[in-house]
């Protein structure tokens, strides 16, 4: 696999997006880059160098799920949502992953993702109380992996090497990414789950998610509608990504290391990368940029933000907050 020595957005190409303020003092600053695009892909707003390459991490899952769908895998709406999830590993999530594996007549041991604890705290505690350990099906990307395996079985492709960049499924994923983003992949690597991850610009990422969210094809329409109907499956109940989907009906997907993409169904989309890799301000910044672009209502966002964990505590009492500065 190739690599780009300079990596993602540089400090010189970044701007301050948000801060954490404690007792009137700015304790931490989140810098990065962001872009908002119109339905036709035109840039509405750009902060920092949004043309620099970045690994979108799990924000690539909409493209991977679309490639799986286009390969002939017709899952239920809930199963479709799990195919692009970074799920919490709850019993409800795991049940759906196992359903997809059963459709492929495969076992959990066939999953190529590493074993992990559930990301959801209550689910993890339950596993510990049961004196169980890490499992592949608990890993947040297991839904995507199960769907990839099902695509391989249905197409007659090998399943033992389905994560190889040269595998027919992964070549299809590359094609979908480049087709939807309008960009050529500039670098590739191995994602945390073991699947290939491909570097594109934030501009390309926003344009690609915008195209999918506009539901211009039967496959993208099925994917988007499935996600909007099952927001809890894409992350975990109460998480920011889930709340954005459920409460605002926005097609949204976070990615590790500070990446976030959101798009309204009209196609106004935002993509951002926070350089320190933290996601705590990512959804907040993305929503504020969509408000600035007049793509969503200020009052609806304020109502939703009241449910986000943005308060800074001191001695158990509120003493500050995370706020956008861009």
Write out the two tokens for 28: 């931490």
* Cα–Cα distance measured from residue 260 to residue 276, given in angstroms and rounded to the nearest whole number: 13
Residue 23: pLDDT band by 50, 70, 90 thresholds?
A: very high
Phi, psi of 269, rounded to the nearest 5 degrees? -130, 150
* Average pLDDT along the chain: 96
C-alpha radius of gyration, the chain, whole number = 19
Distance CA 307, CA 284 (A): 11
Q: What whole-number distance in Å separates Cα of residue 321 and Cα of residue 308?
A: 11
Tokens of 87: 């799920």
Scan for tokens 């990301």, then name that residue: 119
Please report, for residues 66, 104, 244, 271, the alpha-carbon distance to residue 169 in angstroms, rounded to integers and kept in the order given.
Answer: 12, 15, 30, 26
CA 316, CA 6: separation in Å to the nearest integer?
A: 42
8 Å CB contact between 72 and 154:
yes
Over residues 295-311, the mean pLDDT reads 95
Please tell me the predicted confidence (pLDDT) of residue 6: 57
Instruction: Name 296's Cβ contacts closer than 8 Å, sequence gap at least 6.
Output: 248, 250, 264, 287, 290
Confidence of residue 209 (pLDDT cuts 50, 70, 90): very high
Specify the pLDDT at position 282. Answer: 97
Residue that the structure tokens 């992949």 belong to = 185
Task: Provide the CA 80 distance to its chain's centre, in angstroms.
Answer: 14
- The pLDDT tens digits of the residues spanning 80-137 come to 999 999 999 999 999 999 999 999 999 999 999 999 999 999 999 999 999 999 999 9
Instruction: Select from 67, 84, 308 the least CA-distant residue to 172.
Output: 67
Whole-number pLDDT of residue 87:
97
Q: Is the pLDDT of residue 4 over 70?
A: no
Distance between CA atoms of residues 44 and 38, nearest Å: 6
Q: How far is CA 282 from CA 94, 137, 156, 199, 323, in A?
A: 27, 27, 40, 19, 11
Task: Report all structural domains of the chain as residue ranges with CATH numbers, in order of start.
Answer: 15-324 (3.40.710)
pLDDT digits (tens, 9 = 90+) for 235-265: 988 899 999 999 999 999 999 999 999 999 9
């Amino acid at each position: 696999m190739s690599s780009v020595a300079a990596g993602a957005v540089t400090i010189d190409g970044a701007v301050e997006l948000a801060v954490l303020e404690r007792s009137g003092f700015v304790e931490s600053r989140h810098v990065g880059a962001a872009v908002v695009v119109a339905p036709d892909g035109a840039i509405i707003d750009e902060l920092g160098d949004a043309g620099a390459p970045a690994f979108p991490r799990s924000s690539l899952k909409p493209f991977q799920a679309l490639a799986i769908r286009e390969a002939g895998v017709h899952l239920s709406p809930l199963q479709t949502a799990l195919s692009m999830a970074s799920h919490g590993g709850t019993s409800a999530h795991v049940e759906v992953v196992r359903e997809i594996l059963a459709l492929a007549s495969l076992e959990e041991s066939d999953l190529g993702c590493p074993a992990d604890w559930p990301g959801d705290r209550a689910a993890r505690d339950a596993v510990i109380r049961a004196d169980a350990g890490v499992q592949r099906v608990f890993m947040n990307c297991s839904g995507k992996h199960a769907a990839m395996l099902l695509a391989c079985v249905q197409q007659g492709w090998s399943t033992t090497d389905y994560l190889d960049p040269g595998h027919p499924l992964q070549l299809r994923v590359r094609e979908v990414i480049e087709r939807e983003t309008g960009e050529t992949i500039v670098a590739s690597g191995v994602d945390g789950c073991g699947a290939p991850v491909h570097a594109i610009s934030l501009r390309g990422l926003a344009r690609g998610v915008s195209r999918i969210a506009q539901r211009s094809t039967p496959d993208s329409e099925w994917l988007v509608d499935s996600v909007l109907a099952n927001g809890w499956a894409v992350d975990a109940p109460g998480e920011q990504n889930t709340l954005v989907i459920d409460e605002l009906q926005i097609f949204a997907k976070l990615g590790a290391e500070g990446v976030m993409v959101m798009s309204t169904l009209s196609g106004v989309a935002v993509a951002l990368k926070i350089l320190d890799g933290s996601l705590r301000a990512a959804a907040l910044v993305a929503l504020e940029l969509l408000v600035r672009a007049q793509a969503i209502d200020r009052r609806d966002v304020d109502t939703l933000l009241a449910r986000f964990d943005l308060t800074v505590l001191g001695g158990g009492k509120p003493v500050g907050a995370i706020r956008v500065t861009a």
